[in-house]
Chain A
Amino acid sequence: MRVTDSGNRPPWRGTLLLGLAIVVGLLAVVHPLRRWVVEPRRQALLGRRESPGRRLTLASQFGFAAASGTSMRLVPGRPALELSDLPAQAVTLILGGFRGPYVVWLWIRVEDDKHKKIHFDLIDGYTKIAMLQSDYPQVWTFLAWNLAWNLPVQWQSLERRYQWIRRAIEFLGEGHRKNPHSAHIASEMGRIYSEKLGRSQEAEYYRRRVREDFGRSVFLIAYEWYDLARRLGDRYGSLGRGLGKPVMYRQACHSLTYYAKELTQEMYDAFAESVKAQAAGHDAEARKAFDAGLGKLDEAVNAWNWARRDWHEQTVRFEKEEIMTDQLQIFRKFGRGAAETTGQLQTLRKQLTYENLPETFKQMRRPEIQ
């Protein structure tokens, strides 16, 4: 019989084994708790329960756990855990009950730092807060609002301001990845593109930078996010508090209108260049600018048509939903405006020639994006 001499064992071995046992035990308790208790509650709170029919369909594809909303990974569109989430999950697990006080302390610190204009730890603080409270869309949107609105104004250089707003977009993008069904986050993203980058005081600079960086109009990107917010809102009712449903839903239509205006501006600028070149006797340049203007005119007509259709669809939808009359009036007014501009531009397209451009140009007006 073999006798083990426990006295010869290194003293740390027992401690190590005990530590491992505690960690495994914790995981064994916490993981099912999160999967079977916390996650279903979270899904229910966020309105992510699927309809019975859809659940049956999903059950046939992914199994009953996924269909009942208790599995995060399998249901399409649900936040899938990625390797980069590992530290966040580990820290959340390790902190346990101390997560609350720690987050409160972080909130106090980042707000204090923001007021004192101390920036070196700010993004880190925001990331930590969002990591520990990633299930709350309001946390993401509030911090992104700080990054996009309150911090850029603490700097004078436009480039630096733009970089802060880009940070806000990246940050909120991460929020969207963690909460893909939150219409609140999607609409906030649309707001950053439309209001901050598209229509703020410094928008001229930002619009140019967005076109360089993303290769598209800022209003088109804003439209995509607002449209996503509309679809998420319809399906999950996850708009959150803030703007009312009709007001939020028409932001997508507004973004399309701004996009159409932007294209019309570009058309106007191309024709202005052509007229100027004609007056200077540079015929080749004038023709080139005219052709570019015509191209922009076609794009503008399409964009205005798109905006008109979107306004019309939303008007019909809210007429059915019987919202307040003054809200409906707004939809109708902007819809009429889009239809009129579409008509005017289509007429212009039919009548405009290189020869009559100087005369026609006198009647043109460069639209303002207000």
Chain B
Amino acid sequence: MAKRDDTSQASIPSWRRVRVWRRIWAVALVAFRQGIRMRLWILAPLAVAVLILTDLSSPRFDPVFEVIPAAIGASLLVMAVLAVLIGIFFATYSIPAEIETKVSYSVTTKPVGSWEIVAGKTVGMSILVLAMLALVGAGAYAYVLARAGGIQSLAARRLEEARARAAHPADVNALEAAARDGPLTTYRYHTVDAGPDVHIHFPPAMRPDPGDRWILGETNMLLRWNLSETPLRQWAASGTVRLRIALKVRPSAQGDKTPVKVNVWLVSENPDAAAPRRTPDKGAQLVRQVVAEVSPSGVLEVVAAGPLAGPVEGVLNVPPSGRIQMDITSETPGRLLGAGGGAVRIIGPSGREFHVKDAPQDRPSAARAGAYLVGRTELPRQMAVLRFDNVPGNVLGSADTAVEIRLRLEAWSPATVQPAAEVTFLNPVTGGRKALTFTPEGHHATLLYLDRAFWHGGPLEVHLECLTADDSIGLVPESVRLRLDGGPFAVHFAKAILCVWFFGTVLAAVGVLPSTRLTWYTSILGTAVLLLASFMRDFLRGFLLRETWVRDVAWRVARWAEAHWHWDGWDDLAAHVVVPLPDVWALLPDNRVSMGQVIPLTEMAVSFGWAALGTVILVLVGAYLLRKREVGA
């Protein structure tokens, strides 16, 4: 290739540099037309035919809920394969072919910079990919629409059969929605603003007094008093102290009045770090917990001593250090135990008394993460309360709002027992109340629908209860979410195609890069290897770090860097530098998109940003290589 005058760019006045874009556009159009001349468009109907044939011949477990996600997934996969084909075979072809046919002589002798050529080629490929994706996307969209019609009628037929077998009417909510609105729904999530707070659902005859805190027997609920600001430790050091607790005990719904058994714990706030569990001298295990029976009057008296007194059965040892707190849990199933302010008195060795005026906490917030609800068929029972503060009505869409409930089934009742749960929706504005009983799924979200007449935005309170005896359900971090309308399906599908286009553009740039320096065949091989390595980068990284000497080197470099510059991330950085390949495949939409979850605009913007940055870097490197090649020639 002839050497070009490098000073030509510098001599162009700044006002004329606007023509740079025209030159890039001209090169891009040439690349695009080259693709059209090569009849690459034939691949588009072929891809649609492959998509339809494979999708129609693929078996599905549940056609109502699986056919559309599978069709969307297959469409996006076919488009991704198309982008890969163009990236590997055509993007690598253009520059070597021009050099081979000497067309490049007529290009490079024009006032066109090497970066303009590489950028033009990349843009041209990107436009070609976009055109092809648009063609395939239109075909795939028509196919998905055609499938959706059949699915809706199938859902209506299935609904009739499912209603007869359903344990609860709410169990067929999702099927009803598919039969009513069709399967082409899109959604995005709205998470709760507060909760879950675990309380007790009292029967109407057992209304609690305001200010009292209540716990239920055989649950993880507890009454907790902070005794750090009391003279307990000081008095226990000089002798025996009595803790007198005035509890309120309610008989069970069946009128059971047998004594309630409780566990009383005296612990420091952070028992592992702040307070040793053994006596300082002999090393014997200190008594942290006693089991006691509450008298019919509700008064409970527990004896406490200092840590140096040594362990004595039935006597609690006060932790030697740290903040002290007293916990009470009930061991009697289904019995309510409560306490109000001023329920605890500390009676010292000399008869002095200290009155703890604070009311107990009924369930500390620290335990929320592991919250679970113990099941009972009758009231009282545990109840999780979740709140949505104010959901704007205009984001709900026109269809009924779906409520997604995800639970962890913890219990081990016989597998033949069908668990049941109840969700109650409260509309604080209208005072409306709607209770739905449903069969919870352990591994899948249960979908329930709230009709618009009951709630169409604003605040909403959700109560969740487990109705199966001897069973419990765990609350995962996002136990209850609203599935809001995600907008038109066509927009959702177009956004997914755009993501594939970002991927295709980066691939085009990857393909153009080696072709600036290498022959077509070598470029194809290089691009394919790079793509494969990017696909397998986690495996390669793991292999290198586990099986080879690279781990030692990386670890040593990280230690050296840490010694010079204090930073916690050196190990992580060293592990990632081992295979420094960007994850190109991450640009492709994942399974959630196929299932209808819309891609947020922010996520789209981030993908676009990464794709643009990657493309610019690749173009610049490609331009450098092409320039070197020109100089070499």
Contact = CB atoms under 8 A, between A and B. Distances in A.
Interface of A: 87, 113, 116-124, 127-128, 153-159, 163-164, 167, 200-202, 204-205
Interface of B: 57-62, 65-66, 69-70, 73, 165, 409, 414-416, 418-419, 439-444, 591, 594-595
A158 B70 contact: no
A122 B65 CA distance: 13
21 contacts: A116-B591, A117-B444, A118-B591, A120-B69, A120-B594, A120-B595, A121-B58, A121-B73, A124-B58, A124-B59, A127-B58, A153-B443, A154-B442, A154-B443, A156-B439, A156-B442, A157-B418, A158-B415, A163-B61, A201-B415, A201-B416
A87 B57 contact: yes
Given A155-B441, A157-B439, A158-B418, A120 B65 contact: yes
A197 B418 CA distance: 18
Contacts of A113: 591
A201 B418 CA distance: 13
Contacts of B60: 120, 123-124
A157 to B, nearest CB: 6
A236 B287 CA distance: 68
Contact of A119 (B66, B165, B416): B66
Contact of B66 (A120, A128, A158): A120
Looking at chain A's contact residues, the main secondary structure is helix
A154 B61 CA distance: 14
Nearest to B65: A120
A202 B418 contact: no
A158 B416 contact: yes
A116 B592 CA distance: 11
Given A120-B60, A163-B61, A155 B444 contact: yes
Contacts of B61: 119, 122-123, 163-164, 167
A334 B492 CA distance: 63
Nearest to B61: A123
Nearest to A201: B415
A127 B65 contact: no
A156 B440 contact: yes
B97 to A, nearest CB: 18
Nearest to A159: B165
Query: Which one of A117, A156, A201 has the greatest number of beta carbons of chain B within 10 Å?
Result: A156
B419 A156 contact: yes
Secondary structure of the B contact surface, majority rule: loop
Q: Which 10 A-B residue pairs are closest in the complex by CB-CB distance?
A: A120-B66, A124-B58, A201-B415, A154-B443, A120-B69, A202-B415, A156-B441, A117-B443, A120-B70, A123-B59
A192 B503 CA distance: 44
Given A120-B70, A122-B61, A124-B58, 15 more contacts: A113-B591, A117-B443, A120-B60, A123-B61, A124-B59, A124-B70, A128-B58, A153-B443, A155-B443, A156-B440, A158-B416, A163-B61, A167-B61, A202-B416, A205-B416
Contacts of B594: 120
A154 B444 contact: yes
Nearest to B58: A124
Contacts of A156: 409, 418-419, 439-442
Nearest to B53: A87
Which residue of B62, B409, B419 has the most chain A CB atoms within 10 A of its CB atom?
Answer: B62
A128 B54 CA distance: 10
Nearest to A160: B62
Nearest to A204: B416
A66 B440 CA distance: 57
A295 B156 CA distance: 45
B495 to A, nearest CB: 20
A32 B165 CA distance: 55
Contacts of B442: 154-156
Instruction: Indicate the member of B415, B418, B594 with the most A CB atoms within 10 Å.
Output: B415
B537 to A, nearest CB: 13
A369 to B, nearest CB: 14
B431 to A, nearest CB: 33
Given A87-B57, A155-B444, A121 B70 contact: yes
A344 to B, nearest CB: 30
Contacts of A205: 416
Contacts of A158: 415-416, 418
Contact of A201 (B57, B69, B414, B441): B414
Contacts of A155: 441-444
A366 to B, nearest CB: 18
Chain A CB count within 10 A is highest, among B61, B70, B414, for: B61
Contacts of A122: 61
Contacts of A167: 61
A236 B416 CA distance: 41
Contacts of A159: 165
A160 to B, nearest CB: 9
A318 B414 CA distance: 39
A66 B594 CA distance: 49
Contacts of A163: 61
B581 to A, nearest CB: 18
A119 B443 CA distance: 11
- Among B439, B444, B594, the most chain A Cβ lie within 10 Å of the Cβ of B444
A7 to B, nearest CB: 19
B195 to A, nearest CB: 24
Contacts of A153: 443
